[in-house]
Chain A
Amino acid sequence: MSQELERQYQSICNEYGGSLFRLASSYESVPDVREDLLQEIRLALWKALPAFRGECSLRTFVFRVAHNRGLTHVWRRRIQAQFSEDLPDFVEVGDPRPDPEASAIRNADHASLMKAIRRLPIAYRQVITMALEELPQSEIAAVLGISENNVAVRLNRGRKLLRQELGGR
């Protein structure tokens, strides 16, 4: 059982490792805190995996767990910000470490897109990030627990907002 669990977990990490990292990045920009969030997501997946009975696809399951952790993280950070003067607004906290590959055009594109995505309201951010991960609308609806119609509307609005955040590019 334990070996089966480890095998399943390993295959999730292999298949969705990149998606999970990008998803955590959309919720948190500070590298150390992002690492903590990623660790929390991994732990939540490890804990939830034994209860996974295939009621939804594995990808839906992984994205549900990850977004739920992300939401909790955002809420907690906002509460911390209210209690701590050192953290005026978590959304605006930038990466304090220099990015060694910042000169590369692709990374610059990635960084500015990520920054713009982080500025979106959570409801739009979640839909946009899942669309960028190529999840179909039906699956985004299953992850969020809303209708496909609603996903379509949020996707449209989210794209418009993202375009504005990117300076109309």
Chain B
Amino acid sequence: MNSESELDRWRSAWTSGARVEVPAPFDLSAAHRRQERRLRLHYFLNMVVAVALIVFAAFVLRGNPRAEVLVWAVVVWLTTLGSTGFYVWNWRALWRTAAKSVLEYADVCEKRCIATLRAVRFGYAFLALQFAIAAPWLTWDFARRQIPAARYVSCLVLLGTLTAAFIFWFRRSRQRAQLELTQIEEFRRGLSDDSENASGS
């Protein structure tokens, strides 16, 4: 069969199922506003939590100016500033991508996956650090009879539960990012196979 007539036949079949629909722009505008609000709120909440932690540590230190509390406050400030700085740096300029070419878009998607994997690694390290500081600290307080046994146990249970929840979330995020990376690589491989043939032809 002639290749042009074959393509024409396919085209005719392809367009026969068309359904043209014009949605009201107002709804999209509202959906866009909602989405932007959600993103800003997420960013804003991250910042609010960071500021609240810093202020809280300062407030506690002011009410109880002992060397031990100062060490605790410094740990809170450093970890909060470190994690907030990492959050801002890790996700910089990886969002406005819609109108890029498909290949460029795949590149950005890959960078987002890599950023997710980096965030997960940072999260694990951060979690280990928090655990390494909090558990001995609590135990030390308990050994010196600064806190009662019931409070010590409940704090350890809370710490363990939070750590387990974060580990579950990190594992899932990492699996998703790795799966997406595999698909992006597969997609790219499809392109490069053809590129080789194209350059060879």
A residues contacting B by CB (< 8 A) are 2, 5-6, 9-10, 13-14, 17-19, 21-22, 25, 39, 42-48, 51-52, 61, 64-65, 67-69, 71-72, 74-75, 78-79, 82, 106-107, 109-114, 121-124, 126, 129, 131-134, 142-147, 149-150, 152-154, 157, 159, 162-163
Contacts and interface: CB of A to CB of B under 8 A. Distances in A.
Contact of B10 (A6, A52, A121, A132): A132
A114 B17 contact: yes
Contact of B18 (A22, A45, A69, A112): A22
B98 A150 contact: no
A21 B17 CA distance: 9
A123 B187 CA distance: 7
B96 interface: yes
B199 interface: yes
B25 A9 contact: yes
Given A44-B98, A79-B180, A142-B101, A153 B187 contact: no
Nearest to A41: B98
Provide the main secondary structure of the chain B interface: helix
Interface in B123-170: none
A6 B27 CA distance: 11
Nearest to B195: A150
Contact of B102 (A44, A71, A109): A71
A51 B100 CA distance: 11
Contacts of B25: 5-6, 9-10, 46
Interface of B: 3, 6-7, 10-23, 25, 28-29, 31-32, 35, 96-106, 109, 175-176, 179-180, 183-184, 187, 190-191, 194-195, 197-199, 201
A145 B103 CA distance: 5
A153 B194 contact: yes
B105 A71 contact: yes
Contacts of A143: 101-102
Contact of A152 (B14, B31, B198): B198
B198 A153 contact: yes
Q: Which of A5, A114, A149 has the most CB of B within 10 A?
A: A149
Given A10-B22, A47-B98, A42 B14 contact: no
A46 B11 contact: no
